[in-house]
Amino acid sequence: MSLIKEVILQFFFVLIPFVMFNIYCRDKMRNFSRSFILFTSSISLFLAMTFASSVIDGVIFDTRYVIMFFGLVYGGIQTGLILLGEFVIYRLYLGGEGSIVAMLIAVFSFVVSLLMYRSYKTTHRKTIFTISAGMVFSIVALTLTYFYFPHYFVENLTYHFLVIPLQNSLGIWILMSLFSKSVSDKEIFIKHAQNEKIETMSHVAASLAHEVRNPLTAVKGFLRLMQENPTDLTKNAQYMNICMDEIQRTEMILSEYLAISKPLTNRYEPVNVAEMLKVMRAVMSPFAILHNVELEVRTPETSVTIMANPDEIKQVLVNFIKNAIEACANVRKGRVFLSLMVEEGKAILVIKDNGVGMDEGQMKRLGSIYFSTKSSGTGLGLTYSYHVIHTFGGTVTVNSKPNVGTKFSITFPYQE
């Protein structure tokens, strides 16, 4: 039973590079590096030799050849030589009468590994190849052990003909197969992510070109009319106002694209939402008056503090209030009402309007990139706002009915 435990432990040490790859490289947009292979293989080799299986003191067997072959295949010759040097130094430190034989076995096995590792990369029958490599390492080890310690070898035939080949062949097959599969999956993931990034960039570029082309076409047309009739000052003044509006719309579109592409910061600090809402009421009131909409804000007497980036929260509030006002622009007695409250340890901001409202299909798509209920909108404002709110642990719920109005409820983690 003790021998079985030692063999299982060797298998565990062999799998250290595979396990660490899946932990360390899981969320990274790059595959393994030579330094990673060297580092993980060195740890694996050290532990395998430290807790090696042994029948008598001084003669130890472990998965060192498996680990060195793995380092050679994925880290190159330099990595393989460093691992060989680590083995020699540590084996001399461990000592015992089997140390000289171990050096000879290591040299022969390393030469065999050099001859085999290039073939491994080109062969299509990697399973058969790896198991065969494990058997070759076992044969080299057993042959030299028998030559130097015949008595010891004959007395422990079962151990040498069963445990050692199993340890090497199964160990090398498990490690190489699992690591190869993980590397292949990572390459597919990286390629997919890159393709997705290119596709997204193409989508953004096409969308941006479409959004900007419309106002530019209008500006171009009116400038041509002004060029044809330079003496008609009244019409030219009207055309100039339209051009200025279109240029302003172009600036707004570009600002929204820049906002959504700008990475969110990790700067969090206490933000008094109640105080910020009062400031936003003053900032957005002229916009509300321009659209004949009444803007009302109700906040608690005490401060309501959350942990967030104040600049990002301010932009979120601007986006929601602006959308609510625009939804009421063509409604008789348009009204936008904001209320802030604290319930069950959470700050809840309600933004309610009596505007055009939305149907079920529109509500489900809110926050999706490039979706907007406005004919001239890009949808990027709400996409950015949803992303910011979710980043610092908030939630957004919406209730709406066509021609009745919309109610947004934004929940913030409340800071006592």
DSSP H or E stretch at residue 351: strand 346-353
- Whole-number Å distance between alpha carbons of 227 and 218: 14
- Asked if the model's pLDDT at residue 355 lies above 60, the reply is yes
Residues of the chain with CATH 3.30.565.10: 269-413
Q: Tell me: the pLDDT tens digits for 22-41?
A: 888 877 777 888 999 999 99
Which distant-in-sequence residues (6+ apart) come within 8 Å of 170 by Cβ? 11, 134
Q: In what order do the strands lie in the sheet with 334-343?
A: 293-298, 334-343, 346-353, 405-413, 395-401
Q: What is the mean pLDDT of residues 281-309?
A: 87
- Asked if the model's pLDDT at residue 80 lies above 70, the reply is yes
Q: Which of 65-69, 297-301, 375-379 has the lowest mean pLDDT?
A: 375-379
Residues of the chain with CATH 1.10.287.130: 202-261
- Asked if the model's pLDDT at residue 280 lies above 80, the reply is yes
- Whole-number Å distance between alpha carbons of 319 and 312: 11
What integer pLDDT is reported at residue 380 of this predicted model?
66
Tokens standing for residue 118:
């290039």
Q: Tell me: the pLDDT tens digits for 160-195?
A: 888 888 888 989 999 999 998 998 888 888 887 777
- Whole-number Å distance between alpha carbons of 164 and 382: 63
Q: What is the mean pLDDT of residues 35-59?
A: 84
Q: Tell me: the pLDDT tens digits for 359-416?
A: 887 777 675 554 455 545 555 677 778 888 888 788 888 898 888 889 999 998 876 6
- Whole-number Å distance between alpha carbons of 336 and 260: 25
- Whole-number Å distance between alpha carbons of 387 and 112: 55
Give CB contacts under 8 A, 24+ apart, made by 93-102: 94/49, 94/60, 95/58, 96/57, 96/58, 96/59, 96/60, 97/58, 97/59, 98/58, 98/59, 98/60, 98/145, 98/149, 99/58, 100/148, 101/59, 101/144, 101/145, 101/148, 101/149, 102/60
CATH of segment(s) 202-261: 1.10.287.130
The values of phi and psi at residue 56, to 5°, are -130, 155
The model carries a pTM of 0.55
CB contact at 8 A, 151 and 97:
no
CB contact at 8 A, 235 and 229:
yes
What integer pLDDT is reported at residue 371 of this predicted model?
45
- Asked if the model's pLDDT at residue 196 lies above 80, the reply is no
165 three-class SS: helix
- Picking from 351, 258, 244, 340, the residue whose alpha carbon sits closest to that of residue 301 is 340
Q: What is the mean pLDDT of residues 298-316?
A: 85
What integer pLDDT is reported at residue 82 of this predicted model?
93
- Whole-number Å distance between alpha carbons of 196 and 284: 38
DSSP H or E stretch at residue 307: strand 305-308
CATH architecture of 269-413: 2-Layer Sandwich (3.30)
Tokens standing for residue 265:
């910061």
- Asked if the model's pLDDT at residue 274 lies above 50, the reply is yes
